[in-house]
Structure 1
């Protein structure tokens, strides 16, 4: 994730927003800035409410013993974090660039970038794990109860989170808050960020 002086961008699944620093406006190809300022809080509120309901339902006693329900509960948490973190960064930037979380300090720049990418990747893999879990339940129904257990699901999720966190740990070394007050990568890591990291990120 890089924030440049001339062109600001933050990417979240299915949504990319650019903003010229000079004019502090969105390009004509996107919806008016005022609509985004109102839309983002509505999206966040709706997402939080729906994901909270999913988590509460999945944690009910009659469902808590199912591995698929465990995955769905964790996925609801991950999606909520992605939603709040991604939209809050963009919303604050649209209101006032100086309010952007990424521009508070080098530490925050590194931490927010690390957390956002980690949770996004975890969210995607949770869907894959949940699909694999259901596939086993359908193709091997007699063995599903012994293979697809909540205990194993917890272990798989723990391994997943640690692995993704280690992969995205590069943000702690490559990114910083520049003198121009931009959250971007060090020039010495330019080759890695522009030529190597995109392939790693795509694979993950």
Structure 2
């Protein structure tokens, strides 16, 4: 009883001190997140359907992540917004079982996002580390089976919320709709002593794997950038030697050509993974910064049997901001993503026929400029 009285006094004092900012935050920010997040995630799905990304194995995971974020905003964030903004919106007797679904879905949705981000980082790190012939075989694996396996892992990990979640008993807790109320001593021990460390271990393992995979990707980007510089220097040197020698069949030309070709093998494949890698690094860093605080705060509060309204609200909205901000990370770090988004807007404004005519005109202009260069060169 002393725990609940202490929690009540703390929440009441926080409400007196931060009442107006919390009221504005809970009323305005959730609908903004819902609308902007839905638009951003729909745009991500549309870009993943463009020709370039359809050829990439990783686009299936990006599409699943966008759909997962959009559904979370529609279900979890909408339920939270209705509860914190409107009094008595939920009938506690008629909707007693709503928390069984919301808790399972809310925790599972966050875990699923983290696992998808981890899988994408590992997938790309392994792919860029393999030789070209092995890389093509590796990329042919079906990611849909991996996604289904991740879904089963999340379901098994969080299934216990179905048996223990209820609407909060204290009506003054305006920041939280659902909570766990152990009905047996064994489950109380599991919830307070085992589950926090289990969940924190899961998070630490995922983020360690993400950090290790990002290290591999950054190293590959560094090596690839140096190869690009050497390739450019090789090409410049070859052209200068040809200009000074004037012999188009010089053995020196042949040797430099072979040298350059050896370093340019697989350049098209290298360009593809270099385009997507910054997007994955940015997405994984974002999920680390915005998701980890809420998960750790929730696990620690469960372990200490305490609850801070201010800290919960801040980390909670950070978590759902991540589900909107992924689009902007892709937009900043992905040149191909920006190009795909531009094509989508052009197609929406002018139609598919205009898009084909524009591509035909650009190709024709390129052929004409190339032919003129050959004639006058």
Q: Same fold (TM over 0.5)?
A: yes
Q: Residues of 2 paired with 1:140 and 1:102: CA distance? A: 56
Counterpart in the other structure of 2:189 = 191
How far apart are the structure 2 equivalents of 1:115 and 1:6?
A: 30
What residue in structure 1 maps to residue 140 of structure 2?
149
Counterparts in 2 of 1:24 and 1:62: CA distance versus 1, 3 Å: same
- Taking structure 1 as reference, are residues 69 and 41 closer, same or farther at Cα in structure 2, changes over 3 Å only? same
8 A Cα contact 2:26 2:85, kept in partner: no
Q: Is the 8 A contact 2:65 2:113 kept in 1?
A: yes
Distance 1:186 1:147, change over 3 A: same
TM-score using structure 2 length: 0.44
Aligned residues: 189
* Residue 171 (structure 1) aligned to one of 161, 181, 202: 161
Is the 8 Å Cα contact of residues 70 and 150 (structure 1) preserved in structure 2?
A: no
Query: Shift of residue 30 of structure 1?
Result: 8.8
Change in CA separation of 1:107 and 1:141 when aligned onto 2, cut-off 3 Å: farther
- Secondary structure of 2:166 counterpart: strand
**Alpha-carbon spacing, 1:112–1:168, altered in 2? closer, same or farther (3 Å):** same
Show the 5 A alignment for 1:4-153: 20=11, 25=15, 28=18, 31-100=21-90, 105-142=95-132, 143-149=134-140, 151=142, 153=143
**Alignment partners' CA distance in 1, 2:140 and 2:94:** 43
Call closer, same or farther: CA 1:197–1:102 in 2, change over 3 Å: farther
Other structure's SS at 1:191 match: helix
From the superposition, tell whether residues 77 and 5 of structure 1 become closer, same or farther in structure 2 (CA, over 3 Å).
farther
1:57-88 superposed Cα distances (whole Å, 9 cap, x missing partner):
11234322322111100011112223333322
Q: 1:24 to 1:110 in 2, by over 3 A?
A: farther
CA change 1:32–1:168 in 2 (3 A) is closer
Gaps in structure 1 of 5+ consecutive residues: 9-18
More strand by share: 1
CA contact (8 A) 2:100 2:161 kept: yes
Contact 1:65/1:150, CA 8 A, preserved across alignment: no
Moved over 3 A (4+): 4-8, 22-27, 29-32, 100-104, 176-184
- Which has the larger displacement, 126-135 or 32-41? 32-41
Distance in 1 (CA, whole Å) between partners of 2:41 and 2:160 is 30
Asked if the contact 1:102/1:112 (under 8 Å) is kept, the reply is no
Moved more, 102-111 or 41-50: 102-111
Measured at CA, do residues 179 and 39 of structure 1 come closer, stay the same or move farther in structure 2, by a change above 3 Å? Answer: closer
Compute the displacement of 1:165 (Å): 0.6
Q: 1:25 to 1:176 in 2, by over 3 A?
A: same
